[in-house]
Structure 1
Amino acid sequence: MNDLSAPLLRSFLFGPFVLVPEQQSLVRDGEPVRLGTRALALLSVLVEQAGELVGKQALIARVWPGAEVDESNLKVNMAALRRALGDADRYIATVTGRGYRFVAPVRAGTSPRRPTRDAPRAAHNLPIGSTRVFGRADAIASIADALETARLVSVVGPGGIGKTTVALAAAERIVGRFTDGVWLIDLAPLKDPLLVPHAIAAAIGVGVTSADLLATTCEFLLDRRMLLVLDSCEHVLEAATRCAERILAGAVDVRILATSREPLMADQEQVQRLPGLASPPEGSGLNAGDALRWPAVELFAERASERLEHYRLSDADAPLVADICRRLDGMALAIELAATRVDVFGVAGLFAQLSDRVAVPAGRRAGPERHRTLAATIDWSIGLLSPEDARFLRALAVFSGPFDAAGAGAVAAASTAEALAILTLLADKSLVATDIDDVHITYRLLETTRSHCLDQLLAHGETPMARQRHAEHVCLVLERAAAELARRPASDWGAAYGRMIDDLRGALDWTGGHARNRTLRIRLTLAGISLWNHFSLMEECRVRVSQVAGELESAGLAGTGFDMKLKLWLAGTTMFTEGLKPVAMDTLQQALRIAEQTGDTDCRLRCLMMIGVYEFFTGEHEAGLRTIEAFSALACAEDPTILPEGEVHLGIGELFLGRLPNARQRLEALRRRDLRYFASHGVRYHSDPKISLASVLTQVQWLTGSPDEARRTAEEAIDAARRGGHHLSLNNILSYACPVYYWSGDFDACAQVVAQLEEHVVRHGIASRRPLATFYRAALDGARQGPSAGVLDRLRASIDDFTRTNHLARLPYYLSVLAETRLRAGLVGEADAAIQRALAVAHEHNEGWALPEVLRVHAAILLAQDRRHEAGQRLLKSMAKAQGAGTLSWRLRAAIDLATLWRCGDKETVATAILQAVVDQFTEGSGTRDLRTATTLLDTLAATARPG
C-alpha cells in the first residue's frame, strides 16, 4: 500500500529511461543503471535544460561546485554517461568547442520517494561499467549460466581480447545470486606470487594480521556464498591456481571466475575461450548499415566518433573498416587503438598503415598470432607519438596501480601541468585508461600496454632511472600521507592513499635489489607503516619491517631514529600477529633507549604505551600501571593531546588490580569530555581511543553494579566501531563485550557477540584474540547444554592458548570458569586443581578484579568436598574482597551462595539480611540472571520464615 502522505519527487522520462535527480537514480526499463554520481549530475543538468546548449564551464560549475577541476574530468564523465545511455547521439549532442545539448524528447513527471524496484543490495566492489560491451551477449550469458553449477570458470584468451570486460559484465549480471557479495581481485599489479593471498584477503575484507593468510582466508570463506573474480592470473598462474583450489576445497558455496591467457589447469575448472569480436567476412561488400551489425565494426565506429566528434561510418569506408577489424583479429584493444587514429589518417590511411604493420598469415589465427597482432598494433600506435610523449608513456609502466598527474610527472621528469596535457592526449588514443572518482581522475595502463612499455623501457635503458624516480615519489607521497593522518578524516585518508599499496610494494622490491638504496628502502618502510596500520595489514607490516631491520647496521643507521621506529613497529606487529613474546618486550626496551637518547618524544610515548600494554596483558599489572603513569607524566609535559590515551590505560590497570571505583570515576569523567581533544582523525595507537575507552568502561560498569548501563555502552561502542571501519578497534570492543553479556546471563545476546568476534578473528587473523572467542563459545555451550567432555576440552584448549601466547591477564577468571564447569560435571578433583592454579595466579599477578569470583568458585568446590564451614568462610572472604575492590556484582554472587548455604539453619536470618543488603545497593539490572536468582531466593527465604 502506498503512503499517500509521502512527498513526490521530480522525475524525467526519455526513451526507456526514468531519471529522479534528487535520489541520484537512473532506471532503464525498470532496471537500475549503475553510473557515477558526477555522470548522473551531468545528466540531470542537461535533462533539466533539455533542448538548450549548456556550456562546458556552466556544467563544471554545477557538477563540481567550489572545486578546481580540469576539463578532462568533464570529458571523461561525459563519455561514461554517453556509453551508459547506449545510443548516445539520440540523447546528447556535442556542440564542438562550446558544450552539450540534450536533444531527445523529455516528459516531466513525479515519482514516489522510494522507487518500486531498488538496485540489488548485494555487496561488491565491481567498478561502474562506463564502456559499452559489443558482441559479447552470448559469452556473458554462457559464463553466467556456467557459474550456476561450475565452481571455477576461466575466461581464456590472448591479451587485449576483452576478457576482463566480459568477466565483469557476467559478474554484474549475477551479483544478486551471492548473498556475501561479488569481489574483484586484480592480480595484474602483483610481481610476487606470494602476494596473491594478500590480494584476495584485502578485496574480501580479511585483515592481513595472520602469518598463514591463505588458511585464514579459507576459514573465513567456509560458510560464505560469494563470487571471487580473479583477474589477470597468467603471470602468477601457479599461485592463483593454488589459492583457488584451496578455497574451493572447503568453501562449498564460493564460486571463482578467473581471467587468464591460459587455463589454470585446476580441479573443477570449466574453460570458456573468448574469440575475437566478429567481423564481416572478406569480400562481403557491405554498406555501412550492414557493416554496423558486426560488433567489431560497431566498436570501431563508436571509438572513432569519440575521437572525431562528427565521424560517421560511410558506405565507402565500410569495406575498409571491415578489413581493418579482420586484420586485427577482432581484438578489442587493437581495434580501439586503431580507431583513435582516424582523425590523423582517415580510414583509408589507417588501412594502409595497418596493412604494412599487421600481416595476415594463412590459415586459422592461433593465440600466439593474436599476441603478435596486438603487440604490432600497440607498437604502431606508440610509434606515432612524438619521442617525448613516447618516453613519457614508457615511464608510466613502473606504476603497479592507478596514478595521478603528479605521479606521472614525477616518474617522467615533467611538471604536473605537462603531465596532465600528455595524459589527456594518451587517453584520447586509448593508450592510457582513466578511472573516475567524485573530484579527480586517476590513470592506469592496461596490462597489455604496460607489459609492452616495460619491454620498451628496458630496451631504451630507462628502467633504472624510472624505477628510482618512482620509488622516491612513492616515498615522498607516503611521508606526506603520514603527516596528514592526524589532520584528515580516516575515511578520506584511506580513499586518498589506499591505492598506493601496490606501488609501495613495487618500490620496496626495487630498492631491495640495490645496496645504494638501503636508506631509501628504510624510509619507504617507515612511510608505509601508516598505510599498513590504517588498513590493519599487521602481518605485511611485520614482514617488511623485519626485512629492513637487519640492514640498519650496514647502512650506518643503528641507534638512529630509523632504528628506533622500526624496532617500535616490529615489536607492536609481533604482539598482534604472534603473541606477547619476550622478544617483543626486548625490542620495545631497545627502541625506548634510542628515543631517550635522541630526544624523540613521540617515540618515547609510543614505546611507553606499548610496554605498558605488554605488561598489563602478561599479568604484570603493577609494572604496567607504573609505565602508563610515566607515559601520562611525559604526555602532560610534552603532548597533552594524548593524555586521554594514558587515562584509558590507567583505567585498564585499575580494573585488573581491582580498583574498580577509581577506574569508573576516571573513565566516566573522560567520557564526558569533548573527545575532539585527541587531535587526530585517525588511530594513533593501534586502536581508536574512544572505542578503547568504551571497551574498558563496559566491564567496569558491570562489575560495579550497573549491568544495564554496561550493556548500553557496549552496544553503542560496537555500532561506532563498525561505522569507523578500523578492524582492531572493533575487535577490542567485541572482546570486552563478550563477558558483559555472559555475566548478565543474556546468553542469546552473548552468542551473537561471540559469533561476531569469531567471524572477525577469522576474517582478520588476529591470533591473540582467537582463544578468547574459543573460550566464550565453549562457556556458552556449557551454560546452555551442560558440561560435556567437548566443552571441557575447548575450555582447557583456550586456556592453553592464552598461556602459550603469554596472554596471562584474566587467566584466574578463565581458570575459575573451567573449575566450575568441571565441578558441574562431577570432576571434583580436577576442579580443585584448576581453582588452586587460579588462586596462585591471582595472588602472583595481584588480579584483584577476579579474586572474589575465584574465591566463590573455590567455596563451591569445598562444599562438594563436604567442607561446609570452610566453604562459608571462603564466601565471606569473597564478599570482603569484592567490597574492597568495589565489585558489587561479584559480591552479589557470593551473597547468593552464602544465603543458599546457610538457609534452613541457625544462620538463615543473617544470610537473608546479608543478601538483602547487597540487592538493595542495585539501582538497575533487575532482568539479569543474578538479580533474578537473588530475588527468587529472598522470596523463598521470606516464605519459610513466616509462621504457619
Structure 2
Amino acid sequence: MTEASAGHSSPSNGAGASLDLDSVSFGPFSLRSRLLEKDGAPVKLGSRATDILRLLVSRAGEVVPKNEIISYAWSGLAVEEISLRVHVAELRKVLGDGKGGARYITNIPSRGYCFVAPVQRGERDVAPAPVPRSPERAAPSPSLPHRLDRMIGRDDVLPELSARLLSDRFVTLRGPGGIGKTTVATALAHDMWQTFEGHVHFLEFGPLKDAALVASTVAATLGLVVHHDDPSGSIINFLRERRLLLILDSCEHVIDEVARLAENIYREAPGIAILATSRESLLVEGEQIFELVPLPGPPQGVRLSAGEVLDYPAARLFLDRAAAAGHRGDITDDDAEVLAEICGKLDGIALAIELAAVRVGVYGLREIAALLDSRLKLEWRGRRTAPPRQQTLGATLDWSYGLIGESERIVFQHLAVFAGPFTLKGAIAVAAEEGAPGEGVVDALEQLVAKSLVSAQPDGASRRYRLLDATRAYARHKLADGGEADAIARRHALYVQRTLEAGMAEQGGGDQVFSLQERASLLADARAALEWSYANDDGVALRVPLAGSAARLFVELNLLNEARIWSGRALAMLDDANRGGRWELELQSTLGHAFMFTERNSAQAEAALRRGLEIAEALGDHANAFRLLSRLNMFYRRTGDYRHLVPTALHAERIARLIGDTAGIAGSKALVGVSYHLAGDQVEAQAHLDEGVRDDAALRGTQPGHFAYSRTPQIPLARVLWLRGFPDRALDCVRPLVGAAAPRDVVMHCIALCWSSSVFGWVGDWAAVETMTERLATHASVHGLAPYQAVATGFRAQTMIARGEAAGGVDLLRSALPRLHADRYELYVSAFAADLSQGLAALGRLTEGLQVLRETIGRVEQAGGAFDMPELLRRRGDLEARAGDLDAAEASLAASLALAEQQGALSWRLRTEMSLAALRRQQGIQDPFDGLTATYARFAEGFETADLKAARLMLNQASA
C-alpha cells in the first residue's frame, strides 16, 4: 500500500478544536490567527477556506481525513464532500499552488488532504523567497527513455515515490493500463539520475514475448555476457556490491520471471533500488506497492469557473494535449461544466484523456462529450479472466480507431507488428502496400502521431516511433481480424533481415559505434521475427537468412546462448541453396564461437569453425576467413593444442596482406606473435609483436565490426619481453592494466588479466598478482565465465605457495585443475601443475610432486611442446635432485638449458643455471657458477626483480 492509502494520521482535533496558530509562515505567506498575508499584504480568503487552511497547516506533513476537515470547517452541519473540494480548489488558487514549482496542498485520493510545504512557527524578519524550482541537473544518459517536456498531475507523486524508493528499496508502481506508469517511471529515472550518480538502468519489457529471456535481457542491459540459459546468478554477483537504480517497466506479461529475479536482487544486493511498473503486484518478499491512482478531475454537478476547473490535473492534461494537437480556443466559464463532464467520463486515465483531447479541434468540447457517451465504454472491473488491456482501454481504443480514416487504420494495423521502436524507413517497409509509394505511409504516420495512437521521440537528428503496449495489442487484434497477420509478419521479418544484413555489409567502416546502436535497436524485432518465421510455414524461406543476419548481432550483444540456439536451428534446416553459401558461413562461425564459451571447448566448436573457414575460403571471403582463423587460433590456445597455432596464424597473416588493411595486418602480427610465443619461439614472437605494436594506433581504432577487432599486442609482448630477458620493459607493458577500467570485450579483458598476472608472478610481485587475481575472479564471476574463475583460483594458489602457504595452495589447485581439464581449458594447466608439484614437495610429498610433473610434461610433449617446457624440465630436475637422483636431475636441467636457449628464453635459462649451479655444488664440482655468471652478464635490466636478485645473491655468496 502507499502512504496515501495506508498511512496513519494523528488523532482528530475534533470539530471546532482550538488550533495553536499564533503565527506561522510558509513560502511568501504568513498566517496570524485568521489573517493570511503574502509578503506582508493581506490576502482575501473566505472563512471556510481559512478554517481548512488553519487545520491543514496545524497538521503539516500529515494526511488529514476529509471527514475530519468537514467536521472542523462545517461544525454541526451535514455537508457533501463536493463542498470541500470546491473550497480546497479556491484555497489552492489563492496560494498559487503549482505555479513556479510551489506546492502547498496535495490531494490523497480516498483519504484526504496534506499540507506539504515547510512551515515555520513564530515571527520572521524577512519573508522567504517563493519555493524555488529544482536546480538544473546534469543531462541523463541517452539510454533512458525520452522524458515528456511536461508531465501534468504527477508533481506530488515523484517526491513521494522517490522517498519510498530510497527507504524501501523495492517498489512496484501499480495501476491499470494507460494510467501513466511508464511516464512516471521515466520521469523518476531522470530525477534520480544524480542521486544514483548516473547508475540508472531502464528496462522496458513490453517488447519481450518470451518470459525465459527476462534474465538475459537484464544481463545484456547491465553489459554482462549471456552464454547460458539462466544468467540470474551472474546478475546477482554483478549487483551485490553496487549501488544503482533498476527500473523494470511493463512487467505484467512476464511477471513470474520478473518477480523471481527482483526478489533475489532485493535479498542479495542491498545497494540496489528496484522500481517495477505493472498492472498487478509481483507478490514477492520486499515488495512495497505504490498505487498510481487516476488523475484527479473536477467534481461533477457543481458549477465551477474555468480557473477552478483547471486546478484539477485531468482538466489541465486534457487542455494541454488539445493545444498540442492544434486546438487554440480558450476555455470559458460556460465550457467549464462540459470539460468537467468529459474528465469524469474519462475516469482520470491519462491515455484516454489524450486520445479524446486530440480530437477537440475537429469536433469541439460538446461533441466530444456526446461521442464519449455513444462510442466510448470504459470498464474497470479488473476481471482476471479477461485480458487486462481490454478491461481498461479497449473501448477507448475502439472509439479512437473509429475516428481515423481507412488508410490510417491500415497503417495502424500494420505497425502493430513491430515489437519495439521503429524508424520511418521501417514503417514504410512494413506498412506500405506492395508497389505503392511510401508517401501514403508518411502521411498516415503523421496523423497517427497527432492522434496519440503512435508516440514519437527524438533519436539524434531523426525520430523513432512506437505503439504503446495496449495500443499495439489492440492493433494486432484488428490485424488478425482482417486476415493479414501472417502477410504483415512476413513483411516485417523480411525488413528485419534485410536491415541486419545491410548492417553486416557496412561493418568495418564509418561510425561503428552508431552502427552497433542501430543494429542493437532491432533486437526485440529480430527476436519476434525469428519466433514467427520458425513457427509459421509462411516464414520457411526466411528462416536461414534471418538467423544468419541476426547471429552476429547476438554475438555483438554478448547474447551467446541465443546465438548458439538460433544458429543451431538454422543449420539443422539448411537446404541445397544455402549449403556452402554465405549464410552457412555466418551460422557456422557464430555457432563455433558460441560453443567455445557456452559448451566448453568442445569438438563441436572446432568442427563448426573449420567448416566456416572452408566455406569462407571457397567464397573468397577474406574478412570472414581471417575472423575464423582468429577464432580457431583462440580455440587451440585454450585447448593447449599448440602445434596448430603458428600455421593458423601465418594463414591469417597471408589473408590480412591480401586484404591490405593496416589494422588487419597489425592484428595478424599480434596473432602470429602470440602463436610463436606459446609454441616456444620467443625470438620470432618478439619480432612480430614489435611490428604489431608499431601499428597499435590503427589496431586500437578498430570497432566490433572490424575483422581484426580486439587484437592488442602489448600484453603478450610483456610475457615475451620477460622471457627474452627484459623484465623492466615487460612491467612497463602491464602496469597500465592495474588501474584500468574493464573494456567492453569481457573475454579479452580476462585474457589480459591472466597474462599480466603471470608477468607479475615471474618478477616476484605477488601483491600485484593478488590484486589482478581478485579483479579476474570478480570479472569472471560477474559474467559467468567459469574457466576464468578456475584460472583465478590457480593464481591465488600460486601466490599462497610462493608465500610459504603450501597446504592451502595445494588444496586450491586440487580443486581448480580438474575444472580446467573438464572445460578443455589447458592454457594455464602446465604452469599450475608446476606450482602444485612445488607445493607438494614443500609438504614432503616429493613422489607425488614428481608424478604430477611427469604427467604434465608428457601431455605438453604430445601437444607439440610449449613455451614453458624449459621451466617444467627445470622443476623436474630440482625435485629429482631433492630425491637424490642426481644423474636424472642433471639430464633434466641440461635439457631445460638447451631448450631455453633454443627458444630464446633468457629468463628460463637464468633459472635453470641457478638450479644447475646448486646441483653442481651438491655434486662437489669445481667452479659450479661459471654458467650462471655468463648468463647473468647477458642481462641489461631487471636487476631488482626476484630472479636476478636471487642470482646476484648466489654469485655474491660464491665470491665470499
2:151 corresponds to 1:133: yes
Q: Which residue of 1 aligns with 2:729?
A: 709
Structure 2 CA distance for aligned equivalents of residues 566 and 893 of structure 1: 48
Q: Which residue of 1 aligns with 2:89?
A: none
SS in structure 2 opposite 1:391? helix
Contact 1:397 1:445 in 2 (8 A): yes
SS in structure 2 opposite 1:801? helix
Amino acid at match of 1:628: A
Q: Which residue of 2 aligns with 1:779?
A: 798
Query: Post-superposition shift, 1:468?
Result: 1.2
Equivalent residues in 2 for 1:606-755 (5 A)?
606-633=627-654, 636=657, 642-673=664-695, 676=698, 681-685=703-707, 688-691=709-712, 693-715=713-735, 722=742, 725-755=744-774
Q: Which residue of 2 aligns with 1:545?
A: 567
Structure 2 CA distance for aligned equivalents of residues 167 and 607 of structure 1: 44
Q: Which residue of 1 aligns with 2:945?
A: 928
2:487 corresponds to 1:468: no
Residue from 405, 409, 414 that aligns with 1:390: 409
Residue from 194, 197, 207 that aligns with 1:189: 207
Contact 2:637 2:827 in 1 (8 A): yes
862 and 333 in structure 1: CA distance in 2 versus 1, 3 angstrom threshold: same
Query: Post-superposition shift, 1:170?
Result: 3.7
Equivalent residues in 2 for 1:851-862 (5 A)?
851-862=869-880
Amino acid at match of 2:294: G
1:176-230 per-position Cα deviation (integer Å, ceiling 9, x unaligned) = 5557922111110011111111211111111223344223223333333333211
Amino acid at match of 1:772: V
Contact 1:124 1:183 in 2 (8 A): no
Q: Which residue of 1 aligns with 2:788?
A: 769
Residue from 474, 479, 485 that aligns with 2:501: 479
Amino acid at match of 2:673: G
Contact 2:846 2:879 in 1 (8 A): yes
Structure 2 CA distance for aligned equivalents of residues 370 and 525 of structure 1: 32
Amino acid at match of 1:236: V
Structure 2 CA distance for aligned equivalents of residues 843 and 360 of structure 1: 78
Query: Post-superposition shift, 1:905?
Result: 9.2
Q: Tell me, which stretches of 5 or more residues in structure 2 are unaligned?
A: 1-26, 28-97, 102-134
410 and 125 in structure 1: CA distance in 2 versus 1, 3 angstrom threshold: closer
Query: Post-superposition shift, 1:396?
Result: 1.1
Structure 1 CA distance for aligned equivalents of residues 444 and 737 of structure 2: 49
466 and 337 in structure 1: CA distance in 2 versus 1, 3 angstrom threshold: same
Contact 2:548 2:584 in 1 (8 A): no
Higher alpha-carbon Rg: 2
Structure 2 CA distance for aligned equivalents of residues 696 and 405 of structure 1: 47
Residue from 225, 235, 240 that aligns with 1:207: 225
Greater relative contact order, per chain length (Cα 8 Å cut-off, separation 6+): 1
Structure 2 CA distance for aligned equivalents of residues 127 and 853 of structure 1: 57
464 and 905 in structure 1: CA distance in 2 versus 1, 3 angstrom threshold: closer
Q: Output the TM-score relative to the length of structure 2.
A: 0.79
721 and 547 in structure 1: CA distance in 2 versus 1, 3 angstrom threshold: farther
762 and 711 in structure 1: CA distance in 2 versus 1, 3 angstrom threshold: same
Contact 1:157 1:273 in 2 (8 A): yes
1:56-103 per-position Cα deviation (integer Å, ceiling 9, x unaligned) = xxxxxxxxxxxxxxxxxxxxxxxxxxxxx9979xxxxxxxxxxxxxxx
Amino acid at match of 1:403: F
Contact 1:331 1:374 in 2 (8 A): no
Q: Which residue of 1 aligns with 2:185?
A: 167
Amino acid at match of 1:398: V
Equivalent residues in 2 for 1:276-355 (5 A)?
276-308=294-326, 310-355=328-373
Report how many residues are paired: 826
Overall identity of the aligned pairs, in %: 31
Query: Post-superposition shift, 1:927?
Result: 4.0
Structure 2 CA distance for aligned equivalents of residues 866 and 223 of structure 1: 52
Contact 2:382 2:391 in 1 (8 A): no
SS in structure 1 opposite 2:334? coil
Q: Which residue of 2 aligns with 1:56?
A: none
2:821 corresponds to 1:799: no
SS in structure 1 opposite 2:464? strand
Structure 2 CA distance for aligned equivalents of residues 590 and 332 of structure 1: 56
Query: Post-superposition shift, 1:146?
Result: 3.0
1:332-358 per-position Cα deviation (integer Å, ceiling 9, x unaligned) = 111122222221122222222223233
Residue from 234, 237, 240 that aligns with 1:219: 237
Contact 1:576 1:767 in 2 (8 A): no
608 and 447 in structure 1: CA distance in 2 versus 1, 3 angstrom threshold: same
Structure 1 CA distance for aligned equivalents of residues 604 and 389 of structure 2: 56
Query: Post-superposition shift, 1:331?
Result: 0.8
Equivalent residues in 2 for 1:563-642 (5 A)?
563-595=584-616, 602-633=623-654, 636=657, 642=664
Query: Post-superposition shift, 1:940?
Result: 4.5
Deviating more after overlay: 415-424 vs 283-292: 415-424
Residue from 284, 288, 295 that aligns with 1:270: 288
Amino acid at match of 1:702: W
Structure 1 CA distance for aligned equivalents of residues 958 and 897 of structure 2: 20
Structure 2 CA distance for aligned equivalents of residues 592 and 365 of structure 1: 58
1:259-294 per-position Cα deviation (integer Å, ceiling 9, x unaligned) = 111111223322222210111221232222222222
Amino acid at match of 2:941: E
SS in structure 1 opposite 2:806? coil
Q: Output the TM-score relative to the length of structure 1.
A: 0.80
SS in structure 1 opposite 2:474? helix
Contact 1:226 1:254 in 2 (8 A): yes
SS in structure 2 opposite 1:316? helix
Q: Tell me, which stretches of 5 or more residues in structure 1 are unaligned?
A: 1-15, 17-84, 89-116
Query: Post-superposition shift, 1:432?
Result: 1.5
1:629-680 per-position Cα deviation (integer Å, ceiling 9, x unaligned) = 3444455456676444443332222112210011101110232137648996
SS in structure 2 opposite 1:317? helix
404 and 634 in structure 1: CA distance in 2 versus 1, 3 angstrom threshold: closer
Contact 2:645 2:679 in 1 (8 A): no
Contact 1:125 1:182 in 2 (8 A): no
313 and 672 in structure 1: CA distance in 2 versus 1, 3 angstrom threshold: same
Amino acid at match of 1:921: R
1:134-160 per-position Cα deviation (integer Å, ceiling 9, x unaligned) = 333443334333334535321111101
Query: Post-superposition shift, 1:574?
Result: 0.6
Structure 2 CA distance for aligned equivalents of residues 484 and 637 of structure 1: 20
123 and 839 in structure 1: CA distance in 2 versus 1, 3 angstrom threshold: farther
333 and 491 in structure 1: CA distance in 2 versus 1, 3 angstrom threshold: same
610 and 597 in structure 1: CA distance in 2 versus 1, 3 angstrom threshold: same
Structure 1 CA distance for aligned equivalents of residues 382 and 230 of structure 2: 44
Equivalent residues in 2 for 1:367-516 (5 A)?
372-413=391-432, 415-516=437-538
Contact 1:751 1:777 in 2 (8 A): yes
SS in structure 2 opposite 1:275? coil
SS in structure 2 opposite 1:821? helix
Structure 2 CA distance for aligned equivalents of residues 743 and 480 of structure 1: 48
Amino acid at match of 1:814: F
Contact 1:228 1:256 in 2 (8 A): yes
Contact 2:327 2:361 in 1 (8 A): no
Structure 2 CA distance for aligned equivalents of residues 370 and 906 of structure 1: 93
2:266 corresponds to 1:248: yes
Structure 2 CA distance for aligned equivalents of residues 606 and 383 of structure 1: 55
891 and 410 in structure 1: CA distance in 2 versus 1, 3 angstrom threshold: same
SS in structure 1 opposite 2:364? helix
1:485-537 per-position Cα deviation (integer Å, ceiling 9, x unaligned) = 11123312112221011111111111111234223121111111232232232
SS in structure 2 opposite 1:487? coil
935 and 122 in structure 1: CA distance in 2 versus 1, 3 angstrom threshold: farther
Contact 1:860 1:871 in 2 (8 A): yes
